[in-house]
Amino acid sequence: MSETRHDWTKEEILEIYNKPLMELLYEAATVHREYHDPNTVQVSTLLSIKTGGCPEDCGYCPQAARYHTDIEGNDLMTVQQVKAQALRAKASGSSRVCMGAAWRNVKDGPEFDQVLEMVRTINKLDMEVCCTLGMVTENQAKRLAEAGLYAYNHNLDTSEEYYKEVISTRGYDDRLQTIENVRKTNVTVCSGGIIGMGESVEDRAGMLVALSTLNPQPESVPINALVAVEGTPMEEQEPVAIWEMVRMVATTRIVMPKTQVRLSAGRTGMSKEGQALCFFAGANSIFAGDKLLTTPNPDVNEDMELFKQLGLNPQRPFVKAPKPETVEAEDSRYQPLGEKPKWSRPNHKIQRNEEAKEKAKMARGPKAK
Ligand code: SF4
């Protein structure tokens, strides 16, 4: 069996990424079969439980309040709404629900308490629960774990070097710190990135170095292709070619053999044949549902049709790690501490982000700040 290594170098990863495609595919598919059933793919449903109005400036994201995009913001969903959507997702073959809130970080208080209740509710439905809520402290990660959280998503997005060209409102270290906080619990880590943001192939390899040298490696690594949304700083980026996606998936599979490699945003731009190649290259997880937070995603029926054509089966929940226990709110061992993370990079400016902000001000009219 190929071993899990935590000492990958950028040069080694570039060498893999740039192999002749047939060789790369063969190697990735071989590693994939050592650790995973090649005919099983996990189906996850992503729910945007709180959309828009985010104070961060991620250059790819239509939910950043400072850009002018046509997404409709909404307040935090109720526990009942989330339960209804989770039941629907379960009925259509999803084994995991990932709840995303457009927050910079988790704040202790009634909204976080509501999210904890959502976690308890979904865990009791025998589904894996994942959250992506921005930065979390160790205490908040412990409270999520106690509620029954299975996974926490916090993407590194790209290489440390290119990160400075994408987001000015926080640093790479902030990301790594949240992952470290989650690692102090039994919650599994989901962390990946986006290709097609104008980064180089070296940056893609740099991101894979950052992820694969974590010990343990993330249990789940989403690979997104940028969906260039009008009004964001990256609105003019060219779509990612399928070959780049296949290379990225295959390389991720080889350097992180045990992880679930997730085909995430950008699937609507891929043909069925392109997606099939990604599955062959080692992708074994997809997001289902007609929207991924705010960007389009293939219809569930289309996905199930593709599964039928390819002979794929949806993965059962809790195959990779046991189901967490849920502790009720009144029995919790942890108190809210009211911690507030500092803004780590107050003077950092990114030109294309600044330009998109200015454009948004113009579009909103003269009274807008
Ligand atoms: S990616 Fe997340 S943190 Fe960044 S602007 Fe969007 S919602 Fe906010």
Look at residue 155 and give its three-state secondary structure.
coil
Q: How far is CA 218 from the centre of its chain?
A: 11
The reported pTM is: 0.94
57 CA → ligand 1 middle, Å = 7
In a 13 Å sphere around the CA of 336, the CA atoms on its Cβ side amount to 13
Q: What is the tens place of the pLDDT at every residue in 150-189? A: 999 999 999 999 999 999 999 999 999 999 999 999 999 9
27 pairs with which residues across the strands?
A: none
Name the residue at shortest CA distance from atom 2 of ligand 1: 102
Name the residue at shortest CA distance from atom 4 of ligand 1: 58
The DSSP call for residue 284 is: E
331 CA → ligand 1 middle, Å = 33
Q: What is the tens place of the pLDDT at every residue in 184-214? A: 999 999 999 999 999 999 999 999 999 999 9
Tell me if 98 is assigned to a ligand binding site.
yes
Active site amino acids: 54, 58, 61, 98, 130, 190, 262
119 CA → ligand 1 middle, Å = 21
Which tokens sit at 349? 């400016």
Domains and CATH numbers, the chain: 27-321+339-364 (3.20.20.70)
Tell me if 262 is assigned to a ligand binding site.
yes
Which tokens sit at 124? 């009791």
Looking at residue 306, its amino acid is: L
Residues contacting ligand 1 via CB (< 6 Å): 54, 56, 58, 61, 63-64, 102, 134
> What is the C-alpha to C-alpha distance for residues 355 and 271, in angstroms, rounded to an integer?
34
128 pairs with which residues across the strands?
A: 96
Q: What is the tens place of the pLDDT at every residue in 321-349? A: 999 999 999 999 999 999 987 777 768 89
